[in-house]
């Protein structure tokens, strides 16, 4: 597995990371704990050194799984987790008050079985706590040695600039894929200017870009995709044209649609590290194979030209969740 450096921070990670959320949160029933631990450890054996989790996943269960899985080789991996979302009466609330951040850090350290967090993200911007106050708190916790790097998830460019001015931001995590390219407009140019790494989550379009989800797809009742507009039968059918494109390119490259989708992301910038998630070993191996798949300049131009002619239908989030992004 090749390594990449996140911006100008010096933090090196595997070119493809492992998004651990789906092992216990968001996509139907949780994976058996021992099976999840086995999969995480297998990913390390295959060269993955970058693992992404959050206190909100579960909540808490995901961090516990990641901590137990990585404990035998903690000093050889980079663990990213997140603060800033807590449950209140069963509902998620954005809360990045300094006292809440400190409480979250201590909880994450305990669950992750570690005395430091490599990369600590604000999960969503708290509209009631100035980002400068958040950054000041993080700066103090970095000095204490409990955090080594920090970042923000789904934050707007102006918020990122304000945060970076107080304490250097190492990475931004946001959705980015062949069917969600909004970060190309403002976010990615700003990250390049500031020397900040980019961590795309859902790089396979929440599974759609694997080519295995048809318009007749049915998801488990607690699967997040049931409330995502882009996953209605009508929109899945309309967006199949993108899968047709991926299948064509995959056949030509003797690869899979998922590998093409990941290789395309990797080809955009050397400081981008996608974090696909999976619960299956064969999918893990397939995803990691994308790190060795080279798309030529001509092939990338061809893909981008074809993408410009494809209109993706359906929003990526319900309106309520989209309002929490880009602040």
Per cent of the chain over pLDDT 70 is 100
What does the pLDDT read at residue 16? Answer: 98
- Compute the C-alpha angle 305/311/312, nearest 5°: 115
> Are the C-beta atoms of 233 and 216 separated by less than 8 Å?
yes
In a domain, 253, yes or no: no
User: Nearest CA to 4 among 42, 48, 40?
Assistant: 48
CATH number at residue 64: 3.20.20.100
User: Nearest CA to 23 among 83, 80, 63?
Assistant: 63
pLDDT at 27 > cutoff 90: yes
In a domain, 246, yes or no: no
In a domain, 237, yes or no: no
Structure tokens at 129: 């706590």
pLDDT at 34 > cutoff 90: yes
Residue 296 DSSP class: P
What does the pLDDT read at residue 90? Answer: 85
Per cent of the chain over pLDDT 90 is 98
| pLDDT tens profile 240-252 | 999 999 999 999 9
Structure tokens at 194: 């500031």
- Average of per-residue pLDDT values in the chain: 97
Cα 93 to chain centroid distance, Å, stands at 20
Bridge partner residues of 122 (DSSP): 83, 152
Look at residue 231 and give its three-state secondary structure: helix
The span from the CA of 132 to the CA of 134, in Å, is 5
What does the pLDDT read at residue 12? Answer: 98
| pLDDT tens profile 42-98 | 999 999 999 999 999 999 999 999 999 999 999 999 999 999 999 898 899 999 999
Banded pLDDT at 296 (limits 50, 70, 90): very high
In a domain, 258, yes or no: no
3-state class percentages of the chain: helix first, strand second, coil last, to nearest 5:
45, 15, 35
Structure tokens at 116: 């430091």
| 57 is an active site residue | yes
Domain count, the chain: 1
In a domain, 111, yes or no: yes
The span from the CA of 320 to the CA of 75, in Å, is 39
Residues 130-153 have a mean pLDDT of 98
Residue 200, burial from CB neighbour count under 10 angstroms (0-12, 13-18, 19+): buried
pTM above 0.75, yes or no: yes
- Compute the C-alpha angle 174/177/179, nearest 5°: 120
Domain of residue 185, residue span: 3-205+265-293
Structure tokens at 265: 């992301």
The span from the CA of 327 to the CA of 152, in Å, is 11
In a domain, 219, yes or no: no
Q: Which of 27, 57, 120, 121 is catalytic?
A: 57
Bridge partner residues of 85 (DSSP): 94
In a domain, 250, yes or no: no
Look at residue 18 and give its three-state secondary structure: strand
In a domain, 229, yes or no: no
């Amino acid at each position: 597995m090749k390594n990449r450096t996140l911006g100008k921070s010096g933090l090196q990670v595997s070119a493809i990371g492992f998004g651990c959320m789906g092992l216990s949160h968001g996509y139907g029933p949780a994976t058996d704990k021992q099976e999840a631990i086995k999969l995480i450890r297998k990913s390390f054996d295959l060269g993955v050194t970058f693992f992404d989790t959050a206190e909100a996943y579960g909540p808490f269960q995901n961090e516990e799984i990641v901590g137990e899985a990585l404990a035998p080789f903690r000093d050889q991996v980079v663990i990213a987790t997140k603060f800033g979302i807590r449950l209140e009466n069963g509902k998620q609330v954005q809360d990045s008050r300094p006292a809440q951040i400190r409480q979250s850090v201590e909880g994450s350290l305990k669950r992750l079985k570690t005395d430091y967090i490599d990369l600590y993200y604000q999960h969503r911007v708290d509209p009631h706590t100035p980002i400068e106050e958040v950054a000041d708190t993080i700066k103090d916790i970095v000095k204490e040695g409990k955090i080594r790097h920090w970042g923000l998830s789904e934050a707007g460019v102006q918020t990122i600039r304000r945060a970076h001015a107080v304490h250097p931001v190492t990475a931004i995590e946001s959705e980015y894929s062949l069917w969600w390219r909004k970060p190309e407009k403002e976010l990615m140019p700003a990250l390049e200017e500031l020397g900040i790494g980019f961590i795309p989550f859902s790089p396979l379009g929440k599974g759609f870009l694997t080519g295995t989800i048809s318009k007749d797809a049915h998801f488990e009742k607690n699967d997040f995709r049931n409330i995502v507009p882009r996953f209605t039968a009508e929109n899945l059918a309309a967006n199949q044209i993108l899968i047709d494109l991926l299948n064509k390119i995959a056949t030509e490259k003797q690869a899979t649609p998922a590998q093409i989708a990941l290789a395309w992301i990797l080809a955009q910038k050397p400081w981008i590290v996608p974090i696909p998630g999976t619960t299956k070993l064969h999918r893990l191996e397939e995803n990691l194979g994308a790190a060795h798949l080279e798309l030529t300049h001509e092939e990338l131009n061809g893909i981008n030209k074809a993408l410009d002619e494809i209109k993706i239908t359906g929003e990526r989030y319900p309106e309520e969740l989209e309002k929490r992004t880009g602040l």
